[in-house]
Amino acid sequence: MEPAVPERQGLYDPANEHDACGVGFVAHVKGQKSHGIVEQGLLILKNLDHRGAVGADPLQGDGAGILIQIPDQFYREEMAKQGINLPPAGEYGIGMVFLPQEAASRYACIEEIERSVQAEGQVVLGWRDVPVNRDMPMSPAVKAKEPVIRQVFVGRGPDVFVTDALERKLFIIRRRAANAIKSLKLKHGQEFYVPSFSARTVNYKGLLLADQVGVYYLDLQDKRVVSALALVHQRFSTNTFPTWDLAHPFRMIAHNGEINTLRGNVNWFKAREQAISSPILGEDLKKIWPLHYPGQSDSASFDNALELLVMGGYSLAHAMMLMIPEAWEKHTLMDENRRAFYEYHAAMMEPWDGPAAVAFTDGRQIGATLDRNGLRPARYLVTDDDFVVMASESGVLPIPEKKIVKKWRLQPGKMFLIDMEQGRIIDDKELKDSLAKAKPYREWIEKIRIKLDEVPAAEEKTEAAAASLLDRQQAFGYTQEDIKVILEPMVNNGEEATGSMGTDSALPVLSSKPKTFYAYFKQLFAQVTNPPVDPIREELVMSLVSFIGPKPNLLNTTDINPPIRLEVSQPVLTAADMEKLRHIQKYTGGKFRSFELDICYPVAWGKDGVEARLASLAADAEDAVRSGANILIVSDRKVDENHVAIPALLATSTIHQHLVKKGLRTSAGLVVETGSAREVHHFALLGGYGAEAVHPYLALETIEALAKGDAAKADKFVKNFVKAIGKGLMKVMSKMGISTYMSYTGAQIFEAIGLQKAFVEKYFTGTPSNIEGIGVFEVAEETIRLHKSAFSDDPVLANMLDAGGEYAYRTRGEDHVWTPDAIAKLQHSTRSGKYETYKEYARIINDQTKRHLTLRGLFEFKPAGGPISLEEVESAKDIVKRFATGAMSLGSISTEAHTTLSLAMNRIGGKSNTGEGGEDAKRFAPVKGGTMLSDIVGKTRIERDIELKDGDSLRSAIKQVASGRFGVTTEYLVNADQIQIKMAQGAKPGEGGQLPGHKVSEYIGFLRHSVPGVGLISPPPHHDIYSIEDLAQLIHDLKNANGKASISVKLVSEVGVGTVAAGVSKAKADHVVISGFDGGTGASPQSSIKHAGTPWELGLAETQQTLVLNRLRGRIRVQVDGQMKTGRDVVIGALLGADEFGFATAPLVVEGCIMMRKCHLNTCPVGVATQDPVLRRRFTGQPEHVVNYFFFVAEEVREIMAQLGIRKFEDLIGRADLLDMRAGIEHWKAKGLDFTKVFYQPAVPASEPRRHAGEQDHGLHKALDHKLIEQAQKALEKGQKVQIETPVINVNRTVGTMLSGEVAKRYGHAGLPDDTIHVKLTGTAGQSFGAFLAKGVTLELIGEGNDYVGKGLSGGRIIIRPHPDFRGQTVENIIAGNTVMYGAIAGEAFFAGVGGERFCVRNSGGTAVVEGVGDHGCEYMTGGTVVVLGMTGRNFAAGMSGGIAYVLDEDGSFKNRCNLAQVALEKVAAASRQPANEPMHRGLTDEDQLKDLITRHAEYTGSARAKDILAHWDAYREKFVKVYPHEYKRALTELATAGQKEAA
Amino acid sequence: MGKPTGFLEFERLSEAYEPVEVRVKHYKEFVSHLSDDAAKVQGARCMDCGIPFCNTGCPVNNVIPDWNDLVYRGNWKQALDVLHSTNNFPDFTGRICPAPCEAACTLGINDQPVGIKSIEHFIIDKAWESGWVVPQPPKQKTGKKVAVVGSGPAGLAAAQQLARVGHAVTVFEKNDRLGGLLGYGIPDFKLEKSVIDRRVAQMEAEGVTFRTKVVVGGKDLPQGIINDAIEFVSAEQLNKEFDAVILAAGSEVPRDLPIPGRELKGVYAALEFLIPQNKQVAGQQPNPINAKGKHVVVIGGGDTGSDCVGTSNRHGAASVVQFELMPMPPEQENKDLTWPYWPYKLRTSSSHEEGCSRDFAVATKEFIGDGQGNVKALKAVRVEWKDGKMAEVPGSEFELPADLVFLAMGFTNPVGSLLEAFGVEKDGRGNAKATTDGAGCYATSAAKVFAAGDVRRGQSLVVWAIREGRQCAREVDAFLMGTSNLPR
């Protein structure tokens, strides 16, 4: 039997698999066991079913399971049947074991287990075959992998007296047996797996559908199987491969989310192996290594680590706090002891960072915790009969409302623990306070923490360099652009420079210019399976704190004399810092000792010298640490004419990895002193490969030189630079969803492009590199070339740096795909209609025999048969239907440019894309000939008119839904042929965007439903997509809104994108876009444009291979984009697996773009990418030109098809066998490339589709809305009022959306008159209740809602009030989940209870009244009105630029929880006293609208709170705080002034 | 990067010209460069394009956005360094280059292009005035000797580059003054000869030896070529004495008009008029041809023709008519289809402004004599062009009085005997055959003999000659030393 997950093949790598899931538990607080709890656990699973996914076969899920306490009586009776008498409960343990089907291997495994039991001095009591239901329908693939499931019963040995000791022994036995079986290297050994091995818990899980767990495991049906807890989990994996072991729960946890820092965490554990010892485990500790196996999932690895900590003596809660600490670094409100606790532990272990809701249990306690940013949902309730139910969503168990005493949620960084032995719930505060006070952490911290800043300044002066500044700059590859584009903006503004229009320069491995080694690495980023973080607006979770020096012993739980540590607040060190470190022994009384490793070597040794030099550096580092050095300084300061510096990144990684392998890494800190680091990417790489701090001496000297001797200026420049790098690092980290530099250090969140695999494996172990390339000697060669030219007498380099040409074209600078001639020929050809001129253009782009630029430039076609005549090939007019233009918002480009594209695409039957800025509804209807563009859009909004033809349409077929949700109304959605969820953008994957206020014109404000002049922020993540099952939910929501539109998900190429695409296909997307990293942008940080993501050739090939391998390809369409320019590009895209093609930059060039790369400055001189009316008048693009372009491209495609002998375009798709690497590549770097993996085709049956061939089943027929629509017919058709009543449960998701789609189709955004359709629902609504609810529809819910209530609210009204039976106070109980009213446009909502985190995020115009909210309330809000009648969480109003929030601040503490960066807090004045001359929100005084809203809240929900406030109005009014965004106030004032002027 | 919004705020400002009535009275330059402030403003108009089309539009690939920015910021000296890094003689190009860079300027798509040439002119004049242009003698000598035949812009550029890396360079010039066409062909009112002289002085200080009045290769030059040589050096001699030879002798043979009456007195090749004029201005012997009070017809509508027009007007000609065989180009090009390339359009030079009537699509059929061997009129006919073919318009013949006729119809090829003397293979047009890219570029078929400038590419712009001279120098340096640090 083959392993379930396929081996690495082609670009597919099982290491990239992701999963996420639904999690839940039910427990009895007093520990009362019952079979009912098991049954309820299984019921939770069923009700979380929609959070899982099924693969190609509906019978194949991704796994599910249930972990319970050992039902002693049951096993006792069962084992008695075998004649085995079990010892008393707690004196034996049960191992639940998955064994290979193959008999010999199975026996070998059994033997090893028994051997381990004996070796550890315990007793094998016997084995039990776990009875399973063989008749249950099961997918053949799952069946084929079904293990033999047995339980082993282990009794305690004579030396073991208490259960805790037995538990530890069982742990050692399991590790020992697993390591032994691993070392047998059996083919079937991989099927061996131990779901649990404990004296307290037993775990029933498997590759089962959620509702199959209880059916499959017959034990679970037995009434004698009783437990006081049931921990359940339903998995959603990105793949469809049958794996039994990856199902949750694990032995101690069930996890929903993703650990982003996994690689670093696992490496750091490896690094600790030699350095840690455990007073509790003693010698046994050695038996457990290695703790992690390659290829384990993040959850499994987390479980291993947690288990070790617990076995090592930490309490469960303590261990969880260590692994997932709260965001303590910037938490000013945190209790001092607790902060000290976290700070103390921060040095012990880096956080396991990423979105996570982790439920955990050791059989005595059960609890859950949430990551620091609260990125997963977890709701719980407590009943009056001591039951606690916690789950990813509410309503998973039918519990009568009258029994419930508390409904709440897990909050970011918070923990919730039930101690069943104590019989009580321990809340976060009590739990953490008691741990924080257990030891004098505050005192310790003060004694042992040395902040580098506080170390006295070193007396020593930095040694003068042996070479001139210029020579050294040149040796490290500085160009004039490094000064002008990189450094100057940083030193002037304290942040990284912005650029635009993507990148089209040669890949480093193809470049003929020497590149820095850093350039070969690309940053990885989060998409779909985990969310990026907003490092600016959510800075409170970010931290750059770094510890330099040895890490304390992780398992020394009994420490009474903790070691000292050296702390820096951020990792960029100045020269003064460096001198302190160099002489740290002197300044810390010998507590630290630093040792310098000189990474320069004589240039005379040549490139061959590098390998040995690296080896000796590693050895020197090891010696130094062994002889007591605890800070290693990796330095290239000694570079001079005769000594070349090994690239610092290479040296750092070599040393770091060597020390990790030797288990010495945690014994010393690693500081890099290098002349090479100057941009954010460099620092990120050095950190990512192990540096705890970096001293960029040459960048600092360069900066000081820029100050031209002005010391104060130099000082400011340095400060700004350090600040800019810090901000940039946070951005790079947050792109991957990582919040702390500590866990980023060594996390290797990169992939290499153009580096030899063997080289990477040796020096950057674990980093993906898929197309081979240069090795260590070529790297050295490149360095030496730079070095030599630096010290040569080259006249051009005598007084100045090389010009560069990477960021802007320069003759003899770096090569670019777009050349002046290419642009000229493209424009001339499309304007004149001359195909020959187009061919000249195509030749410049396509022919890369002399200039090497792109990977595809190195491909050539390998026809399988003879050529055919051109007439036989599919027509161009059919081919162009596969073309789309890119997602460029009206905002990033001008109205003229935007409409020209839509006209052209509609003329050829292709698709244009709205981009993320909404679309004018006036564009939706077809037009009559002779109409002018300005007749439709409005005279004042058009600067250069276009005459339209009959049948023309301005409607963009693709409507984009991005994180900002600007203009995403129901009407917008129903007018789409395709709805595109933008997960990432090639130019800045993992980042948000910002449209500054001055660019928000009247028209853009109108389209985005915002106030002109007020800045708009697109958050980095979609706040309704933190994981793959969230994406499935959004797809479901959008499909409900418009069932006819195909739902597309846009991803960016990076290693692992194929796996994400497979997940996307399983999440029921109809369409997926793979974008290259090089795609255009209106504005993006330079380092993101250049260094994040990969060329589409790689991502597309990986996607095709993974989808085909998973049998998921047929049901999804694949589109590729990213610098798509010619027919040859299209054909290569098709051969690598694309059905469709996106073009953006090229059509813009056709419209007149000349690659100014000034989009971000709003100064586009040809009127394409600007909003300036004066410049827009210069626009000359015409739809005809764009039409010409696409037909030319199609014609070129046809010519190539004829040459390949292929008649139908669809027959090209996925035929990677028709591609080959061009022969005779002589370029010294490029010749090492190998595209075998890119051209790989997985071996699947011929019947398996390799292109789009079928449709997804969206399961829309199950929607409750069908019933609503039926009952609302009179309203829909005739506008008559209707009342509908219905029960609702959590599996009824997206209620009201389909109905709203019907309203919007008929009545547009204006909808129906208020309350025409009134739906009264009772129960717990599923996710996305009332999403995109249209005007005229009221949803009145009696009960509670889950996440995403009122998402995209488009005018409807939502009322949620508690069931009358529920006894809890509204202000103390949760009534709606997270991310409520995300992206609301209009409408109102009233919640008689507390909402979750991120309430009203990105609200553009919705009104809400709520009685309390979680963290990040009103974040990024641009309009609307929010009233909070209770407590708020932290970071309220972050990034809020518009609208108003009124918060009832009873104790005056609100200001501490509000992010005051963009808002002012004001009092709510009495209506009579509000100054008349000040502009008013919605034209009402604060008092009037506040009182009105509260009155209606009371009316709609019956809220006692509201009534009380109204009853004591004057007293309460005083306590309200008005949250007033500065920008909004300014814009209102300006609008008022403009209005007055007009009136006058 | 200049001022991001500069192009929206500031208008293009052209350099100031002396009024026609003043300037036609002398032979001095009449263009004054921009003031410091004006230069900054003009620099601010540069948009610092992501793709600066000017950079490729310029044959020497001047890094225009960079020095525009430096000028905007007032960093004149640094601007000079950047300018000099691609162009040895911005003082020449800043005066007489037709500025293809400006045709390629992106601002020119829908506005007046950046005044690149005026800024270049400003930078270099500022530099000379400030004493920033100093000799850059090599740190050490290589011991290699290079001969450069011809002292035009290609030869000078090559010589300067090579001298600066330590080669012993000798420039041979058959005439008595240096500069080739720059020195003799172009009138002083466009390029004062002191501009060349100071460069020559700089080069001498850098180690270049100049030998004037020495003709190399062949002694017998075709008619119409001015030759002051008093000394002859054979190809063999040069090959023997030097490690490498660069032929940079230009493309001097004028295109003739072999029609009846060509032999008449008063019908001259343009250079027969222009070179003596320059000598006269330089204080040497007076120009034997005098246009004062005469009816002048210039045949040929190019720059040389313009120079004849300007010189004739300064002489005080009674009338000046310029013929062009091609039809009148459009006044404004269709930028949609031409930009960023050099557009075909009507160009009016400063000489035209000084008084001249231009006639297009006209072919000269015959020169009519006065019976005493002097030309007195010419007969011409109107022509029509269709699909690149010319046809005379029947019945359109006309006569025009002409006391002086200057033939300025371009130059066909270099003096053949020079190439033959070195045994250099010619291309189809009679130029020295050599490539400009890849291995062995600029090398001729003859061992260690290189060719650059018009001698290789045929008649062209000064700026192209400088480019070729520079690139050729790099190849020669690499040929002599194995590698070269000289920029291309």
What whole-number distance in Å separates Cα of residue A1440 and Cα of residue A1417?
10
Partner residue opposite A832 with nearest CB, options B7, B337, B340: B337
Measured between beta carbons, the chain A residues lying within 8 angstroms of B57 are 820
One DSSP character per residue, A191-241 reads G-EEEEEESSEEEEEES--GGGHHHHBGGGG-TT--BSEEEEEEEEESS--
Q: In the predicted model, is pLDDT for residue A4 greater than 70? A: no
Give the pLDDT band of residue A264 (cuts 50, 70, 90): confident
B52–A810: do the CB atoms touch at under 8 Å? Answer: yes
Q: Give the pLDDT mean for B328-335.
A: 92
A831–B48: do the CB atoms touch at under 8 Å? Answer: no
Omega before residue A249 within 30° of 0, cis: yes
**Which residues make Cβ contacts (< 8 Å) with residue B188, sequence separation at least 6?**
B27, B28, B29, B278, B281, B282
Kindly report, as residue ranges, where domains of CATH 3.50.50.60 are found in chain B.
145-253+412-481, 256-409
Domain B145-253+412-481 has CATH 3.50.50.60: yes
Partner residue opposite A501 with nearest CB, options B50, B104, B109: B50
Partner residue opposite B4 with nearest CB, options A807, A1152, A1163: A1163
Kindly report, as residue ranges, where domains of CATH 1.10.1060.10 are found in chain B.
6-130
Give the pLDDT band of residue A1543 (cuts 50, 70, 90): low
Give the pLDDT band of residue A1418 (cuts 50, 70, 90): very high
Q: What is the pLDDT of residue A1542?
A: 62
Q: Give the pLDDT mean for A1435-1464.
A: 96
pLDDT digits (tens, 9 = 90+) for A621-669: 999 999 999 999 999 999 999 999 999 999 999 999 999 999 899 999 9
Measured between beta carbons, the chain B residues lying within 8 angstroms of A796 are 85, 485, 487
Backbone phi, psi, residue A194, to 5°: -115, 100
Indicate the pairing of strand A1140-1143 with strand A883-887.
parallel
Q: What mean pLDDT is reported for chain B? A: 94
Residue with tokens 């191992």: A95
Q: What is the pLDDT of residue A2?
A: 45
B337–A828: do the CB atoms touch at under 8 Å? Answer: yes
To the nearest whole percent, how much of chain A has pLDDT over 70? 99
pLDDT digits (tens, 9 = 90+) for B221-252: 887 788 899 999 999 999 999 999 999 999 98
Residue A470 touches partner B, C-beta closer than 8 Å: no
For chain A positions 1164-1193, those within 8 Å of chain B (CB to CB) are 1165-1166, 1174-1175, 1178, 1180
Q: In the predicted model, is pLDDT for residue B393 greater than 50? A: yes
Q: HSE, CB side, 13 Å, CA atoms: give it for residue A1386.
A: 19
In angstroms, the separation between the Cα of residue A1162 and the nearest Cα of chain B is: 9
What whole-number distance in Å separates Cα of residue A632 and Cα of residue A617?
11
Measured between beta carbons, the chain A residues lying within 8 angstroms of B107 are 1165
Domain B6-130 has CATH 1.10.1060.10: yes
In angstroms, the separation between the Cα of residue A13 and the nearest Cα of chain B is: 38
pLDDT digits (tens, 9 = 90+) for A1297-1339: 999 999 999 999 999 999 999 999 999 999 999 999 999 999 9
Q: What is the pLDDT of residue A1544?
A: 57
Measured between beta carbons, the chain B residues lying within 8 angstroms of A803 are 63, 66
Q: Which residues of A are catalytic?
A: 21
Q: Give the pLDDT mean for A414-437.
A: 94
Contact A1058, A240 (CB under 8 A): no
Q: Give the pLDDT mean for A1133-1139.
A: 98
Residue A849 touches partner B, C-beta closer than 8 Å: no
Measured between beta carbons, the chain A residues lying within 8 angstroms of B157 are none
Residue with tokens 């600078």: A813
What whole-number distance in Å separates Cα of residue A1326 and Cα of residue A1295?
8
Read off the pTM: 0.94
Q: What is the pLDDT of residue A259?
A: 87
Residue A811 touches partner B, C-beta closer than 8 Å: yes
Residue A998 touches partner B, C-beta closer than 8 Å: no
Query: Which residues are bridge partners to A1004 per DSSP?
Result: none
What whole-number distance in Å separates Cα of residue A1020 and Cα of residue A737?
10
Spell out the alpha helix ranges (H) of A627-677.
648-661
Query: Which residues are bridge partners to A1221 per DSSP?
Result: A859
pLDDT digits (tens, 9 = 90+) for A980-1009: 999 999 889 989 888 888 888 999 999 999
One DSSP character per residue, A1312-1373 reads SSTTSEEEEEEEE--SSTTTTPBTTEEEEEEEE--TTTTTT-EEEEEEEE--TT--S-GGGS
Instruction: Tell which residue, A526, A1475, A609, has the closest CA to residue A1027.
Output: A526
What whole-number distance in Å separates Cα of residue A1511 and Cα of residue A652?
68
Q: In the predicted model, is pLDDT for residue A1263 greater than 50? A: yes
By CA distance, what is A1177's nearest residue in B? B110
Q: Give the pLDDT mean for A856-876.
A: 96
Give the pLDDT band of residue A58 (cuts 50, 70, 90): confident
Contact A343, A442 (CB under 8 A): no
Residue A824 touches partner B, C-beta closer than 8 Å: yes
Partner residue opposite A823 with nearest CB, options B51, B110, B111: B51
pLDDT digits (tens, 9 = 90+) for A88-112: 999 999 999 999 999 999 999 999 9
What whole-number distance in Å separates Cα of residue B208 and Cα of residue B94?
24
Measured between beta carbons, the chain A residues lying within 8 angstroms of B61 are 811-812
ipTM: 0.95
Min mean pLDDT across A136-140, A727-731, B373-377, B403-407 is at A136-140
In angstroms, the separation between the Cα of residue B260 and the nearest Cα of chain A is: 44
Measured between beta carbons, the chain A residues lying within 8 angstroms of B140 are none
Q: Give the pLDDT mean for A556-574.
A: 88
pLDDT digits (tens, 9 = 90+) for A1502-1516: 999 999 999 999 999
Q: Give the pLDDT mean for B134-155.
A: 96
Q: In the predicted model, is pLDDT for residue B101 greater than 50? A: yes
Give the pLDDT band of residue B1 (cuts 50, 70, 90): low
- Coil, helix or strand at residue A186: coil
Q: What is the 3-state secondary structure (H, E, C) of A706-728?
A: HCCCCHHHHHHHHHHHHHHHHHH
A1155–B49: do the CB atoms touch at under 8 Å? Answer: yes
**Which residues make Cβ contacts (< 8 Å) with residue B438, sequence separation at least 6?**
none
What whole-number distance in Å separates Cα of residue B12 and Cα of residue A1339?
64
By CA distance, what is A814's nearest residue in B? B51
By CA distance, what is B5's nearest residue in A? A1163
pLDDT digits (tens, 9 = 90+) for A331-379: 888 999 999 999 999 888 889 988 889 999 999 999 999 998 888 899 9
Using alpha carbons only, give the angle A771, A776, A781 rounded to the nearest 5 degrees.
110
Mark out chain B residues that contact chain A at CB-CB < 8 A.
1, 4-5, 7-8, 47-53, 55-57, 61, 63, 65-66, 81-82, 85, 104, 106-107, 109-111, 139, 164-165, 336-337, 339-341, 485-488
In angstroms, the separation between the Cα of residue A1175 and the nearest Cα of chain B is: 9
B51–A820: do the CB atoms touch at under 8 Å? Answer: yes
A1157–B50: do the CB atoms touch at under 8 Å? Answer: yes
Instruction: Tell which residue, B69, B64, B60, B75, has the closest CA to residue B4.
Output: B69
Interchain CB contacts (distance < 8 Å): A and B: 109
Q: Give the pLDDT mean for B286-302.
A: 95
In angstroms, the separation between the Cα of residue B487 and the nearest Cα of chain A is: 7
Q: In the predicted model, is pLDDT for residue A13 greater than 90? A: no
Q: What is the pLDDT of residue A1359?
A: 98
Give the pLDDT band of residue A139 (cuts 50, 70, 90): confident
Residue A949 touches partner B, C-beta closer than 8 Å: no
Task: Return the residue in A708, A793, A830 with the most chain B beta carbons within 10 A, the one to mutate for interface testing.
Answer: A793
Residue A1364 touches partner B, C-beta closer than 8 Å: no
pLDDT digits (tens, 9 = 90+) for A1056-1104: 999 999 999 999 999 999 999 998 888 889 999 999 999 999 999 999 9
Residue A1373 touches partner B, C-beta closer than 8 Å: no
Q: What is the pLDDT of residue A923?
A: 96
Q: In the predicted model, is pLDDT for residue B372 greater than 50? A: yes
Domain B256-409 has CATH 3.90.1150.10: no
Q: Give the pLDDT mean for B332-353.
A: 93
Q: What is the pLDDT of residue A203?
A: 97
Q: What is the pLDDT of residue A1?
A: 36
Q: What mean pLDDT is reported for chain A? A: 93
Q: Give the pLDDT mean for A322-339.
A: 91
Q: Give the pLDDT mean for A1170-1188.
A: 96
Q: What is the pLDDT of residue A1210?
A: 97
In angstroms, the separation between the Cα of residue A1188 and the nearest Cα of chain B is: 15
What whole-number distance in Å separates Cα of residue A874 and Cα of residue B144?
65
Task: Return the residue in A483, A810, A1177, A1226 with the most chain B beta carbons within 10 A, the one to mutate for interface testing.
Answer: A810
Measured between beta carbons, the chain A residues lying within 8 angstroms of B109 are 1152, 1154, 1165-1166, 1178
